[in-house]
Amino acid sequence: MRKVFSVTALIIGTVIGAGFASGREILTFFGNTLSPLLAIPISIVTFLFCAVFLLVGARVNASEIGEVNRKIARPLEVVLNIFMLFNCVITFSAMLAGTNALLDSVFPLSPLYSIIFALLSTLVVVFGLRGLMRVNSLVVPVLIVVMTLICAFNLNAPVTLYFEKSSVSNVFIYTALNGILSASVLTTVNGLSKKEILLSSALSAVVIGALILLLSLSLPSVSPSSEMPLVELAKRLGTSPFVFAILAVLAGIFTTMLTAHASISEWINAFFNNRVLSASVSAIFCLTLSFLGFKRVIDIFYPVIGVIGLAYFLVCVIYLIRTSRKPFCVFTAKRHRSVHKRRKNT
């Protein structure tokens, strides 16, 4: 079960970034007329995404995302690498920008905040995926508790119980947005049994669905243009909840930042073969792009990344279907050879 909880923490820590923890993602995709029923399809699709990516990781048995893409779609390997790299760069840059946007509301010192977090991220990424899992295992439970408490004290009656037409497609795009970032790490996780994969995916889906439900019942009272809706809700409760909300969003920023940074670093490491140099180069590059601003990146680029994530998910599904037939083909081929051999002997 230790593996299950570690992988679950990794998934949730990847999904609950600054966009999720602040509530900005939800407002971008669904507005503030949220239906609590959104939690159900998002949970189901989250389970499917996690399960597929972990199954790909178990079957490919690769240590970095470039090798995964080469094995699942050799003709499209370059395209997939560009998509994944673009996603990670935008996400890492957005997380760095998020630290400035969040902490400037307390004490304006930009860009010092993003520089500090870029350095911290570099130190953790140098230790690889094991270090990433340890950080997520510590941070994620605290993050979930803080988000739950803030939402619980701001619950409102549902705005609507019906889905708008745009919400149906946005469920897939929104889940794919979070899925493609986690895919860069989950597809390199190997050594899990099918039972562990299903349990990790199910547990992650339940937690994500529960948080979506709480957000859908608390965010409608916030302005759709709010940059940090959850922090705004916490501020209404007093100074202590406000501080805890800032810490929770920072934790979400850091866990997502680590996942994106690790993926970029692994890609660059294929050229430099130096983990420290690769982590440093990726941090400096994304730190420069972070000056685009947090809200602008989410509102403009995140829907695009969602579409890319959906395409990547379909590629992974096709790979699993295609490779699942191979054992059957081998078995039937051996059976046919044995039959021909018996006929020849007779």
Domain annotation for the chain: domains and CATH numbers: 2-345 (1.20.1740.10)
For 46, 80, 108, 222, the CA distances from 69, given in Å and listed in that order, are 21, 6, 42, 41
pTM: 0.78
Residue 336 has pLDDT above 50, yes or no: no
- Are 30 and 167 in contact by the 8 Å Cβ rule? The answer is yes
Q: What is the mean pLDDT of residues 195-200?
A: 92
Residue 94 has pLDDT above 70, yes or no: yes
Digit-coded pLDDT (tens) for 198-248: 999 999 999 999 999 998 888 888 877 777 888 888 988 888 888 888 887
Lowest mean pLDDT among 4-8, 28-32, 238-242, 262-266: 28-32
Task: Report how far Cα 159 is from the mean position of its chain's Cα atoms.
Answer: 28
Q: What share of the chain is helix, strand, coil (3-state, %, to 5)?
A: 85, 0, 15
pLDDT attached to residue 157 = 66
For the record, the structure tokens of 11 come out as: 């998934």
Reference 197, options 12, 69, 58; nearest CA is 58
For the record, the structure tokens of 290 come out as: 């972070």
Residue 327 has pLDDT above 50, yes or no: no
- Are 200 and 50 in contact by the 8 Å Cβ rule? The answer is yes
Mean pLDDT of the residues in the chain = 82
Lowest mean pLDDT among 9-18, 159-168, 231-240, 283-292: 159-168
pLDDT attached to residue 316 = 92
Lowest mean pLDDT among 58-62, 107-111, 127-131: 127-131
> 339: exposed, middle or buried (C-beta count within 10 Å: 0-12, 13-18, 19+)?
exposed
Please tell me which residue, 259 or 82, carries the higher pLDDT value.
Answer: 82
The whole-angstrom separation of Cα 187 and Cα 12 is 15
Please state, for a pLDDT cut of 90, what percent of the chain lies above it.
21
